[in-house]
Every structure is written in structure tokens, then in C-alpha cells.
Structure 1
């Protein structure tokens, strides 16, 4: 196992290669890198031209686009990482792309890329990534496939994928539980509203019935009324 080609260098020691088929993006990346006081910046329109020049003079860092023709950024990465490309196979590669989806990032890192940056990239972000690479002590290891890769990268990505899957499962469970709770609360509220609309009898509250007087009590009451009516006033 061996460290990558930029490990332990200072920013001023970097010989950078930029592979970009967009002229405006070439200008931007060149200007940013030169503002970091790097030793050298070489810019190429295609992966094929960059590969030929890099084999003759291996750089310390390669920044490349993902979608290019006829050779894509991914194909360029696989060419560089092949064991027959030594010492070029040890050069760290950063992708600068407008299509930074999760599957793309996973594919790039599993193939041996060190970073994936999303356009438009800011000078501070690029400087931070380059600084990190200069101190990245993860060794490059030759896999059974015949390609070099960052040691332990597959294990790290698998752990991240498992964590994301667990998080997605927890979110799904929470969403389903919340939906079921809302359905139960809605059913209870509907039942309560229905009972209220039917009045208190339906709710189990009996109306107070008028009191019924017995025949004897009615007779006594009538006799009392008669006595009062017939009395003389003195």
C-alpha cells in the first residue's frame, strides 16, 4: 500500500491538471487554483488529451468533469486507477460536476475518486477539499480487480448506506404511525360529533319526567281549595 501523490505536500507544491470541456469552467477553475498559489495548472478539453499529458508528467491532483465525450469522467477515472498506470494511479482525483446525485457520488467514490464537488464550486470549498487531501493519510491499495482504490472506502460507504437505510426506515415508520394515529383520532371525533347531534337521550342522559300525583293526593288538594274558598272573612 502507498499514499496518494499529494500526501504531505503544501499547497504551493501542487501540480494540478484540470479536465473540463467547458471553456468558461476551465477559466474559473484555473483562476481559483492560481489564487491558491499552486505551482502549476494544466487545462485540457478532453480526458484523452489529459491522460496522454499526465502519463508523460504525472500531476499531484486531477480535477475533472463527470460528463464528457468521447471519454467520460468515470471512464477516465478507471483508466487512471488501473495498476498498469503506475505512478499515475496514485494521483487523487476530484470530480467537479453539476450532477452531484447520491448514486453518482457513491459510484465515483467506489471507483477511486477522493471527492465529488457540485458546480458552481466556491473557492473556499475547493481550498478546503484540497487542504484535506494534502493531509489524507489513507493509503492506496490494489484490489483483486486490478484497480487501485482508497483503503477501506467500500467498508465506509457500506456503513453509510446502512445508516441511511435505517434512517429511511425509521422515517417511514414514523410517517405510517402518524397517519394511523390521525385516522383513529378522526374516527373518535366523528363518533363524538354524531352522538352530540342526536341529543342527550342518545348520549345516555334521560330527560326528567313530570311527577305524577296519586288520586288520594289529588282529592286532598281539591278539598283544601274548597275549604279556603268557603271560609268567611272576619
Structure 2
């Protein structure tokens, strides 16, 4: 158990703080929801009712979709684009998907390579792109959940103001939907861009996301040019 905790420490750390943050969000959101209901003279909702509500779903899914879009685009961009000196990038000249030999794919697979890496054809293609496929799928599902929950919340607010209900198609092209969506996207893109650029000149001793402290600025984490 100790060995597992050590070997999976990074994943376990982020899993724990994710759960704590999600629980904290639900508790704070529940309190805020009932405060707003009280201000409008409406009865409070129960905790179970709140965490299964469309408003809570929208707040959670809205952040999830922007995070997974960020990593989907970053993984895709780093195949073809480079940034000299950044440990987040391949070195200039290494753009592209690389050869089967460089990727240990098919007949070039190692003795302990994953089984699907030994395959060619569809299975080999799927496994070769599995990270991008999963990230993209989670993004799309989160975006869909956000939009479906959002149209319910929007129609609840419309009903309170005596306005007609919107369809899903109307909601997903509305300024309100894209205002909320793009607020999250722009912050994620800024954070990734800063990480790529800052890591050229700044260091963090002991972090795998940083070059060695004394490495030249032009040198990436995977080259010694």
C-alpha cells in the first residue's frame, strides 16, 4: 500500500483535492442558493435537491469542459508546433507524429509495450491517439451537459420574468451561453500560454515541468542542443 501511494502520489494528490474542492463547491453553492431564495421570499431547497439541480450541473460542467478543451488543444498543438527553450515542447525539427520506430509501434514495439501498441491498422491508430480521443470526448460531453443544464436554468429565469422559453438550439447560440463559455476558455488558454513561455526563462528545482536550474534558456527538457 505504501508503495502504491508513493508510485501514484501525484494522481492521488489531485484526486483528493479535486474531491475536497467539489464538496466545498457544493456546500458553498448550497448556502448561496438558499440565501438567494430567502431574498426572493421562496422556500429553501435541500442539499440533495441542490446537487442534482441544473444550476449545480452547469457550474460544474462549465469548468470541466474548459479544462478538458485546454488539454485537448495543448496535446494536439504540441504534435505540430514547437517553442524553442520550453520544456513543454519538442525541439525544433521534431514536429509531427514521428515514425513507428520512434514511437515503438507495431513491429518496433518493445517486449513490455502495451498490447495495442503492437497492433497496426485501426487498433494501432486508436491507441496511438487514445489520449487525444478521451480528452476530446470528455470535453464534448461536458460541453453538452453544460448546455443542457444551462437551457433549463435559463428557462427557469425566463419564466420568473414572464418571458417565453428557449429551445436548446436557441440557447447554445445565445450571448449568455457564449459569454459564460468564453470567460472560461480565455483564462485556460492564457494559463497554458504562460506556462509554455515562462518555463523558457524561469525554473523550479525538482519539478518535471521545469528544466534543470542551470540549463540554458534555449534548451528544452528533451534536448541538449
Q: What TM-score do you get using the length of structure 2 for normalisation?
A: 0.23
Structure with more strand by fraction: 1
Rg (Cα) greater in structure: 1
TM-score by length of 1: 0.23
Higher helix fraction: Structure 1 or Structure 2?
2
